[in-house]
Structure formats: structure tokens, C-alpha cells
Amino acid sequence: MAMDTPKAKEAAWNANYGVVGSGDRRLAFSRQLSLVSSNANAATPRLARSDSSISMPPQLGLGAPPPKPKKLLYLGSRPMRRLALLLALNVAYSATELAIGLFTGRVGLVSDAFHLTFGCGLLTFSLFAMSASRTKPDNLYTYGYKRLEVLAAFTNALFLLFLCFSLAVEALHAFMQDESEHKHYLIVSAVTNLLVNLLGVWFFRSYARVNIVYRNAEDMNYHSVCLHVLADSIRSAGLILASWFLSLGVENAEVLCLGIVSVAVFMLVLPLFKATGNILLQIAPGNVPPSAFLKCCRQITACEDVCEVRQGRFWELVPGHAVGSLSIRVKNGADDESVLEYVHGLYQDLGIQDLSIQADDL
Amino acid sequence: MDGHNSPHPQIAEVKMDISPSASGAAGNKICRGAACDFSDSSNASKDAKERFASMRKLIIAVILCVIFMTVEVVGGIKANSLAILTDAAHLLSDVAAFAISLFSLWAAGWEATPQQSYGFFRIEILGALVSIQLIWLLAGILVYEAIVRLIKDSGEVQGSLMFAVSAFGLFVNIIMAVLLGHDHGHGHGHGHGHGHSHDHSHDDSDDDHSHHEEQEQGHVHHHEHSHGSSITVTTHHHHHSGAGQHHGAEEPLLKHEAGCESTQSGAKAAKKPRRNINVHSAYLHVLGDSIQSIGVMIGGAVIWYKPEWKIIDLICTLIFSVIVLFTTIRMLRNILEVLMESTPREIDATRLERGLCEMEGVVAVHELHIWAITVGKVLLACHVTITQEADADEILDKVICYIKTEYNISHVTIQIERQ
């Protein structure tokens, strides 16, 4: 993937997207493709998916890019390895915490360990999604397995929302019950937790933003993992702050800190939750403005053979892969083939590759 | 025709009032109305009825739950017992699950917008997913509580109180399970003898009268309901149970549907009364709660009799949590399959492809995609390559007809290409 090639390690620049690869994503943009139909061939449409920092523009006359050597053993892309490392660290940490908590009888450690275990489960699912989504489409899953990444991102976001809700409940609990001493001995565990999670944030630092333009399925998954570790580190930091304030004698420090953490995590996660939820709800492709669809419809109906366009439905399988189906009514005796080619070309400019067009003669 | 009068005929729902008579031979191809099988008039009202019936059940369940919860909260505060308050919080989670299901049911009826060209039916599935994650979360919380009980080795935990509280919780959950799950027992009765005696007798009578089709005129309006809302099926069954075997009028309310389709194949899958996925997930939630109440009851009884065997409580909770997780696996698998846009289980894609290829004029079929927008609503898109001389229109008609009658998929998009 783009992150792995040494060429892309320094900030690679792509004319349509700005910075790709592991460069500073704040400089990334997504240029709107013009609706001028590609002059040469439909075989090389200018699409979000096929544009990568590796492929050369055909005008340079270099021909097809040299094929990447096929690896027999897939060791995992760099993000996968990093996530595996993070997961191993988390599992080890939560196991030791659980053991210590059980032997010394400290409830706080056990609850923390449980929380971490849930987080580990989520990260495992993300890792599994990363590796399983490479499987080729088969008979049962005709669109392939890329949706798993979106699902993993959605599950991550959902559990983060649960976390923020539980933090709010905990704040309420602390507010009503006023037992403030049980946070003190968690300092060591909170600091360790913070360090482990900060390492995770560092691994996925290019995704440490709230609003990201998702260009492919992996983006969503990595973003969700990053937000997960970020939220965990915010929580640990909040706990440390709370016990520090308590030792300073500030009243209701716990309530305050937990409340702030809860609100922060909520604001952090909501855009990701909405974006993944939308994809799962079959929303129309986000990178194409509705006016572009309108324009396409007008162009099609302007064609003299076409009576009307009906039931155009478009959805995104994963960010960057749009699918659609369309139904048009053609005049009797018109040449279906050229109309179909024309319509296909129009939508390919928008970036919609998989399209099924039903032409009814009437 | 209830028009989706979107002011801009953009990407979806171009309003087109084609009267059925004008279509004629092309009637097969032209879906009646803008959004076809998803919301034409008869389907929309069937859907709406089904939805309202399910919503009514859920609302009753929510009200009951809230009543029980207030009783527990008041009792817990009076007795100053944490255990009772914890159980009240558990009931609160039940209310949350019901609220999610209610919201999904309501939201699934929203009209399609240009951004959401398929409508909002997927919200049902997402709501069910959230519900199931809640169940998992609660199972984890219960295991955590059991561990805490194990650690805090003092007389804090009274076995008798635990037993009593969880017995009450079990009672509440059983009432709600009966309320939520009651209908689909009857709904299935017609095809599979479900252990309800009157359903058995109906199976016999239905078989006897499967040929008395002419009596149906007076009962035309039944058929609209028979497929959709199972509540009306139940009442009709009860109504007719008194009438003897000779009333051809009681006629095979459901068998008639079977008679109408000429083929007896996979189309049957659509006729099986589908329980609404959201009601089913709420039912699973309540079922899981009652299973765990049983586990906690056993643990409480153990602690009551022999307080030193506290480890049994933990083991019990673990076992029962695993059982609860197993009950959710099947639903989770269904949800995942829909969300991954896979071919629905009830449709055999290879047979369909073979059937299409066997038609004359058809050379090959490629890019066949069959997926479901929600359980029960299936779409199909494919590219069909035909020979040079064949008549595209005729083949299109035949293909659409074949798919509709054999597999009951009415929303299809076929692209005809010549070799």
C-alpha cells in the first residue's frame, strides 16, 4: 500500500490529492474532477481509486508502471504490524493488571483491566478486518470484503460512544456519592495506560484528526484505531488530573474531569460515527456533489435518443468505490450500445465505475 | 399512487404515474411508481401496518419496564440496598434497548431523499447491531460484577437478597419476552406445527380447503394482511377456529398466497412470516436478561446456603454470559451479511446464473450482484451478454420475468450487451 513504498515515505505529491502517503495530511485536498469526458479511452478513467502515487500519467510515454513483485508471504502492511504490536502491549498490560487486581483485591484495577479488555477486543476486530479485507470477491460476497473495515470502524466508534456514556454515568455517580478516595492508587496504572496509548497515537499520528477525508476503506479503519487510543489516553490523563486536583484539595475534581473527558471523547468520535454510519446506510457518494448528478441527468436526457432517466441510485461500498444503477428509456430503434457507452463515460468521470444501466425501449 | 414528489427530479424518485394499463407488455420492466418494491402503495401500507404493530408492542413493553423500574428504585432507596438499585439500572438498559428498537422502526419509515436513494430501511439493521452490542456490553458488565463480588470477601453480599431481586427481575423479563415474542409463535403456525393446538387443526383445515379458491372474494382484504402483520393473522385464526371444516370461507388465508404463485420454489421464502428484526433484537435482549437472571439466582442461592463457595457464583455467571452470547450469534451473522452486501441466504446465485444462461439468446452473465437492503428486500444487478441477432427487448422481458417469478426479486437492473 502507499505507505510502504520507500518512494512515498517522503511527502509524495499527487496532483489531484496533494500529499499522499505518510506525509502531513493537513496539506491533503481532493480536487474535483472535471466533467469533460476523457478524451482517449474509458480504460484509463481519472478515478480516486486508480490514482495513486505509484502510477505514472500516460502522457510521459513510459507505458504501464512496472508490476510490483508478488509477495508470497504477506507479513502485513506497516499499519497492521503497528497495530499488532499495540494490541500485544495492551493485552499484556491488561492481563498483568487483572492478575494484580485479583491477587491484591483492588476493585479499581479489575475494572480498569476489564475496560482494557474490551478495548483489546475491538482492536483485534480491527486487525482482523485489515487482514480479511484483502480477500478477493467470491460467489457469496460479490463485492469483496472491504466493507469489513468500515464495519470495524463503526464498531470502534460505537464503543467509544458507550465509553463516553459510561464516563458520564461515572461522573454522575461520583457527584452523588462523594467517595473520592478510590482514585488515588490508580495513578501508576493510569500513567502506564497513558504511555501505552500515547505510543499508539504516535504510530497512527497521521490520522490524529477529527475530520478526515476518507479516500479508501483503510482510512476509516486507521482513523478509528487512532481515535480509540486517543480517547483512552485522554481518559487516563483525565484520571491523573482528577487525582492531582483531589490531592490539591479541589472539590468535585473527579466530576469535573470525568465530565470534560466524556464531552471531549463524544466530540471526537461523532464525525467518524456519522461517516461510517452513512456508508453503512448506503448514502450517495460523498465526494460527488448532488449538482453533478443533476448535470449528468441533464446531459443524458439531452441526448436525442433518450426519453428520460429514472431511478438513478448510487451508493458507496467503501469510500472511493461507488456503485450505481440506472434505468433509462430509449426511443424505439435507437442504438443501445452507443447510448450505453455514452452514459457509462459520463458517470466514470464522476468516479462511478460499477454501473448497471437498464435501457427500456418504448 | 403516492407520489414521492421531490421537487428536483435528480438522481432518484423521478415521479412517474404510469397507469398499469399503459404498460402492457412492458409492465414487467417498469416498476410501478418511483421507488418500486420499496415503497409502492400496497407495499408501503403493508410495511406501515407491520411497523405500527411492532411499535405498539414495543411501546407497551417500554411502559411496563418503566413501571417495574420505578417500583424497584423506590424499593431500593427505601431498603437502602445497592443490589436492588443495580437491578433497576439493568432494567434501565432494557428500556434503552427498547428505545433503540423503537427509533429504528420509526426511522425506517422515512421517505427516501436524493442522498439516501434507497430509503432508510438500513436503519433497522444498524439499530439491531447497536442493540446486540449493548447485550454484549451488559454481559461483560455482569461478569465484572461477579468478579467484584468474589473479591469483596465480606458479608456485604446477602445471598437471599440477591436471590429475591433476581427472581423479580426474571419474572419481569419473562412477561416481556412473552409480550414481544408471542406473535411470531402464531405467525409460524401455518407452515410448521408449532405446538399450539389450534394451529395444528388449522393446518389440516387449510390443506383440505386449498382448492376452494372461489370463496375468496369476500375475504380479499385478508390477503394484504396475511403476509405482513402477524397480529391480524392471529385474530383471524382465532375467529375461524370455531367454524367447522365446511366453511370454505375460512379458506386458506395463507395457503391462497401459496396458490397464486405458479412455482413452488424459492419464492416461498418471502411468504414465511418474517419477524421484524428490531422486535426480534429486543426479544433477544430480554431473553438474555432472563437467562442471566437465572444465573444470578443460582449464584445468590449458592451464596445463601454456603457463603464460602463464592467461586460458583462467578463460574455460573460466566457460563450464562456465554450462553447469552450464543443466542445472539445467529442474528449477528444475519446483520453482518446484510451490511457486507452479500448474497442473501435464501437465494441461490449459481442456480440463478445457470437459469439465465440457459435462456436462448443469452451468451453469458457477468457482474451479477445480489444484495439486500434489509432482511427481505433484495436487489439484483447484472450485465447480460446476448447474441447479435437476438431481440434485446424480448430478452430483457424474459429475464426480468424469470427473476421475478422464480426468486421474487422485483427490483432488478439488467444491462444488455451484445457480443
Which element (helix H / strand E) includes B188? helix B159-189
ipTM > 0.95 for the complex: no
Say if residue A106's pLDDT is above 70.
Answer: yes
Q: Does the beta carbon of B147 lie under 8 angstroms from any beta carbon of chain A?
A: yes
Say if residue A221's pLDDT is above 90.
Answer: yes
Say if residue B27's pLDDT is above 70.
Answer: no
**Interfacial B residues in 356-375 facing A (CB < 8 Å):** 367-371, 373
Say if residue B247's pLDDT is above 90.
Answer: no
State the average pLDDT over residues A117-131. 92
State whether the Cα torsion A188-A194-A200-A205 is positive or negative.
Answer: negative
Note the pLDDT of residue A45.
Answer: 46
**The cell 389450534 sits on which residue?**
B198
Nearest to B372 by CA among B411, B403, B332, B415: B411
Instruction: Write phi, then psi, for B371 (nearest 5 degrees).
Output: -150, 165
* Neighboring chain A residues of B115 at a CB cutoff of 8 Å: 283-284, 290
State the average pLDDT over residues B43-72. 85
- Model pLDDT for residues B305-324, shown as the tens digit of each residue: 877 777 777 888 888 889 98
Say if residue A181's pLDDT is above 80.
Answer: no
Burial B357-380 (b: 16+ CB within 10 A, else e): eeeebbeebeebbbbbbbbbbbbb
Chain A's closest residue to B413, CA to CA, is: A358
The residues, ordered by sequence, that sit 6+ positions from B220 with a Cβ below 8 Å of its Cβ are: none
State the average pLDDT over residues A16-29. 65
Beta-carbon pairs below 8 A across chains A and B = 160
Say if residue B284's pLDDT is above 60.
Answer: yes
Q: Between A200 and B32, whose confidence is greater?
A: A200
State the average pLDDT over residues A326-348. 87
**pLDDT mean across residues, chain A:** 81
- Model pLDDT for residues A56-101, shown as the tens digit of each residue: 555 554 555 555 555 544 567 788 889 999 999 999 999 999 998 8
Note the pLDDT of residue B145.
Answer: 82
Q: Does the beta carbon of B416 lie under 8 angstroms from any beta carbon of chain A?
A: yes
State the average pLDDT over residues A233-258. 87
Asked if the Cβ–Cβ distance from A143 to B11 is below 8 Å, we say no
* Neighboring chain B residues of A162 at a CB cutoff of 8 Å: 133-134, 137
- Model pLDDT for residues B338-393, shown as the tens digit of each residue: 999 999 988 888 999 999 999 888 999 988 999 999 888 899 999 999 998 888 88
Q: Does the beta carbon of B381 lie under 8 angstroms from any beta carbon of chain A?
A: yes
Asked if the Cβ–Cβ distance from A290 to B151 is below 8 Å, we say no
CA distance B409 to chain A (A): 15
Which element (helix H / strand E) includes B51? helix B41-79
Say if residue B232's pLDDT is above 50.
Answer: no
Note the pLDDT of residue A333.
Answer: 76
pTM to 2 decimal places: 0.74
- Model pLDDT for residues B78-102, shown as the tens digit of each residue: 877 777 777 888 888 889 999 999 9
Instruction: Write phi, then psi, for A283 (nearest 5 degrees).
Output: -75, 160
* Neighboring chain B residues of A326 at a CB cutoff of 8 Å: 413
Note the pLDDT of residue B229.
Answer: 39
- Model pLDDT for residues B141-188, shown as the tens digit of each residue: 888 888 887 777 655 667 777 788 888 889 988 988 888 876 544 444
Q: Does the beta carbon of B315 lie under 8 angstroms from any beta carbon of chain A?
A: no
Spatial distance between the Cα atoms of B36 and B27, rounded to a whole number of angstroms: 12
Q: B265 pLDDT band (50/70/90 cuts)?
A: very low
Note the pLDDT of residue A197.
Answer: 93
Candidates A100, A138, A177, A280: best to mutate against B (most CBs of B within 10 A) is A280
Q: Between A40 and A248, whose confidence is greater?
A: A248
Note the pLDDT of residue B76.
Answer: 79
Note the pLDDT of residue A24.
Answer: 65
Note the pLDDT of residue A139.
Answer: 85
> What percent of chain A has a predicted confidence (pLDDT) above 70?
76
Burial class (CB in 10 A: 0-12, 13-18, 19+), B20: exposed
Q: A308 pLDDT band (50/70/90 cuts)?
A: confident
Note the pLDDT of residue B156.
Answer: 60
CA distance A41 to chain B (A): 19
Say if residue B207's pLDDT is above 80.
Answer: no
Number of C-beta neighbours around residue B212 at 10 A: 15
**Interfacial B residues in 232-261 facing A (CB < 8 Å):** none
* Neighboring chain B residues of A283 at a CB cutoff of 8 Å: 115-116
Asked if the Cβ–Cβ distance from A281 to B123 is below 8 Å, we say yes
Asked if the Cβ–Cβ distance from B383 to A142 is below 8 Å, we say no
Note the pLDDT of residue A38.
Answer: 42
**pLDDT mean across residues, chain B:** 72
